[in-house]
């Protein structure tokens, strides 16, 4: 799957997030990279930033939070295009949930592990 096609899948997954949630997202940017850091080669996505639940009066003038979705490991773990679509959506939701302050334990319980 080309990078362009994968980026379209990420955009489609973002479009499926309910508008009432996307309106609440603040100061966050989503990126697609081919590969994760070398020390975690199977990482599908990464949230870097300060979750909304931890922001206070001090939160001003900071760089946007960053959500990165990794193409390489997603393609390697999936057997079909349908698998890639499903896994990409799960990963996007998982990383956005971190932006909202939801931790991995809760995400696993909800099926977004």
Beta strands in 3-81 (DSSP E): 28-33, 45-48, 65-70
pLDDT at 108: 83
Per-residue tokens: 111: 């099926």
Residue-wise pLDDT for 2-47, tens only, equals 999 999 999 999 999 999 988 999 999 999 999 999 999 999 999 9
Q: Which two tokens stand for residue 22?
A: 């996307």
Beta strands in the chain (DSSP E): 28-33, 45-48, 65-70
Residue pair 79/88 in contact (Cβ under 8 Å)? The answer is: no
Q: What is the pLDDT of residues 101-110, one digit of tens each?
A: 998 898 888 8
Per the listing, tokens 């949630």 go with: 21
Q: Distance (Å, rounded) from C-alpha 15 to C-alpha 42?
A: 25
Check residue 33 and give its pLDDT: 98
Domains of the chain: 3-50+63-110 (3.30.2010.20)
The side-by-side arrangement of strands in the sheet containing 65-70 is 28-33, 65-70, 45-48
Residue 64: its pLDDT value, please? 94
pLDDT in tens, 57-95: 888 888 999 999 999 999 999 999 999 999 999 999 999
- Tell me the whole-structure pTM to 2 decimals: 0.91
């Amino acid at each position: 799957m080309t990078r362009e096609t994968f980026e379209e899948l990420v955009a489609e997954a973002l479009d499926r997030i309910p508008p009432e949630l996307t309106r609440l997202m603040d100061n966050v940017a989503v990126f697609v990279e081919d590969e994760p850091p070398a020390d975690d080669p199977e990482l599908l996505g990464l949230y870097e930033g300060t979750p909304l639940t931890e922001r206070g009066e001090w939160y001003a003038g900071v760089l946007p939070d960053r959500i990165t979705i990794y193409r390489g490991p997603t393609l390697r773990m999936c057997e079909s295009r349908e698998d890639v679509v499903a896994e990409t959506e799960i990963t996007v939701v998982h990383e956005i949930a971190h932006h909202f302050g939801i931790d991995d334990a809760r995400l696993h319980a909800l099926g977004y592990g």
